Amino acid sequence: MGRAIWDYYHNENPEDLQTETSISELDELPVEYLFRDFEDMNDIEQKALELSEGKVLDIGAGAGSHSLYLQNERNLEVTALDISPKSIEVCQLRGIKKAVCKNMLDFSDETFDTVLLLMNGTGVFESLAKIDTYLQKLYSLLNKGGQVLIDSTDILYMFDRDKDGGVYIPAGGYYGELDYVVHYKGESEEPITWLYLDFNTLKNAAKNNGFKIEKVLKDEDSYLAKLTKK
């Protein structure tokens, strides 16, 4: 994905990304979507950016569109964080003042008033087995009273149902744990584990890790949650 972002920014013959999961077919993701302005973002993204305040950490910043809006339009102090060196270089070239290439679990330089995880932010948790590790890390990154704004989708709708409304869910693990693969220009990343969470599962995990939590917006099967450090 970082290479696609780099190619698009430099006009180096960019192509659409292709994504697939263990339960879905190949899907096209236009690279320009990652460069969209606030007006072209969905309701959940816009709401999260409106709720952001203070010093902000944007985890999984990608091409930096969320960070740029907060920095340039909201005049907030923002750190863009991503594991892709090429994505971070593009963030810097687009004018983001502070952009860091590092895994969130290894980032401990400072604390924040708002932490953003958008575009299925729960995906970075990988699996239910690791969710406590990630939530504890997020807790440590917040100032007292700070907030995590995170979105996800309950993907139960993607599974077949019987005539009585029962859902056929594969045995062995939580149904939101998927293998996720990105393809670009004939090359494929190694599959990663990507976690889609229903709100109640996130709520229980957040409370177990010391957060207050509320659902601030629902859009069909997707939602935006606010986790507040007590």
pLDDT tens across the length of the chain (230 residues):
999 999 999 999 999 999 999 888 899 999 999 999 999 999 999 999 999 999 999 999 999 999 999 999 999 999 999 999 999 999 999 999 999 999 999 999 899 999 999 999 999 999 999 999 999 999 999 999 999 999 999 998 776 666 666 656 666 678 899 999 999 999 999 999 999 999 999 999 999 999 999 999 999 999 999 999 98
Contact 81, 57 (CB under 8 A): yes
The CATH number assigned to the domain with range 1-155+173-229 reads 3.40.50.150
Residue 165 bridge partners (DSSP): none
- Interatomic CA distance for residues 217 and 204, integer angstroms: 18
Q: Where are the domains of the chain?
A: 1-155+173-229
SS3 123: helix
Which segments of 102-210 are extended strands (E)? Answer: 112-117, 142-153, 177-184, 187-188, 192-195
Strands of the sheet containing 142-153, edge to edge, are 99-101, 77-82, 55-59, 112-117, 142-153, 222-229, 211-219
Q: What angle do CA 81, 200, 104 make, to 5 degrees?
A: 15
